[in-house]
Amino acid sequence: MPEFALDPDRPSQKRAFRYFQEKVPYKTSRTVTIILQYKERSARILDIGSGSGQVLSRIRETFPDIWGLEVSRQHVCEANRRLECGSRPRVMVGSAEEMPFKAGSFDAVVSNTMIEHIERPEKMLAEARRVLRDDGILFLTTANKYWPIEPHYFLPFLSYLPSWIANAYVRLFRVAERYDDIHLPTYRGLMRLLQKDFIPEDKTLDVIENYRRYGFHSKRLFKVSILSKILNLARKNALLYGVARRAILYSSLGWIIVGKKRGAGRR
């Protein structure tokens, strides 16, 4: 599993770093609000790709029994210091493609904008299914390959390009050495990938229509409120509502999915 981290001291990455920092409260609120629709506060949670623990530490305020998995040893140390874990670390070094946990260990697995950094996402999903209990859920978010402004480096149409051109593009603007280690999905591609191990439920439009409940931060509030108004106005006509939902879903910056284990309870 490749390591991805933005450097706030690198001028070309400062904007992206600030953007991700600003998203932390919203990302936490959204994650907690959705998981509470399925699980009690006593649920055992695994956060994949915990980084330095900023989101995980906030989720822990609602779900105390939360654990983390992160590929970077430096970030693992930072996360455990942030969590004040002492001699019993909560965040462990490991790969999402080979999780160091027993089968059926967790009630929920969280993957916030992580799957696009995985070389073999199908292996990560199989592992997530393995470590979940029969009634467990996967909470997954990712960005849209066809969003015009690439969300990691803010370069127009970067994710549209063949890998060799994309690599040259990021080097030209000095934001990274390569781009072929990020694999943003399309909506159909993501759903096909999920359906082998999970029964996916898309929460994206629910979050847009009820954005205040999910804690959207002020810098995104205006855009989301407009989309919410469009959807609510379109409700008066079933055909128009269906068209609006599909158009917004396929053109969204990204998606929020909850997956229930496929075949859970079978013997």
Do 104 and 174 lie in a common domain?
no
Do 200 and 174 lie in a common domain?
no
Do 111 and 136 lie in a common domain?
yes
Give the CA angle between residues 218, 221, 225 to the nearest 5°.
160
Do 212 and 168 lie in a common domain?
no
Do 63 and 30 lie in a common domain?
yes
Alpha helices in the chain (DSSP H): 14-35, 54-59, 73-83, 121-131, 163-172, 187-194, 204-209, 218-234, 238-250
* pLDDT of 2 higher than 60: no
CATH number at residue 21: 3.40.50.150
Is 1 a member of any domain? Answer: no
Do 130 and 169 lie in a common domain?
no
Is 213 a member of any domain? Answer: yes
Is 236 a member of any domain? Answer: no
Q: Are strands 198-202 and 132-143 parallel, antiparallel or unpaired?
A: unpaired
CA distance 242 to 246: 6
Q: Name the residue with higher pLDDT: 74 or 215.
A: 74
Do 136 and 158 lie in a common domain?
no
Q: Is 101 helix (H, G, I), strand (E, B) or coil?
A: coil
Is 224 a member of any domain? Answer: no
Using a 10 angstrom Cβ sphere, with 0-12 exposed, 13-18 middle and 19 or more buried, the burial of residue 267 is exposed
CA distance 240 to 243: 5
What are the pLDDT digits (tens) for 198-247? 999 999 999 988 888 887 755 567 778 888 889 988 988 999 999 999 99
CA distance 179 to 117: 10
Phi, psi (deg, nearest 5) at residue 38: -120, -25
Residue in the block written with tokens 């490991």: 94
Is 141 a member of any domain? Answer: yes
Is 31 a member of any domain? Answer: yes
Do 61 and 49 lie in a common domain?
yes
Using a 10 angstrom Cβ sphere, with 0-12 exposed, 13-18 middle and 19 or more buried, the burial of residue 102 is exposed
* pLDDT of 86 higher than 90: no
Do 52 and 168 lie in a common domain?
no
Do 108 and 169 lie in a common domain?
no
CA distance 90 to 84: 9
Is 86 a member of any domain? Answer: yes
What are the pLDDT digits (tens) for 89-135? 899 999 999 999 999 999 999 999 999 999 999 999 999 999 999 99
Do 117 and 168 lie in a common domain?
no
Residue in the block written with tokens 């609510």: 232
DSSP-assigned letter for residue 74:
H
Phi, psi (deg, nearest 5) at residue 263: 75, 15
Is 97 a member of any domain? Answer: yes
Domain that residue 169 falls in: 154-180
Single pTM value for the model: 0.90
Do 83 and 138 lie in a common domain?
yes
The number of folded domains in the chain is 2
The β-bridge partners of 132 are 106
What are the pLDDT digits (tens) for 39-69? 999 999 999 999 889 899 999 999 999 999 9
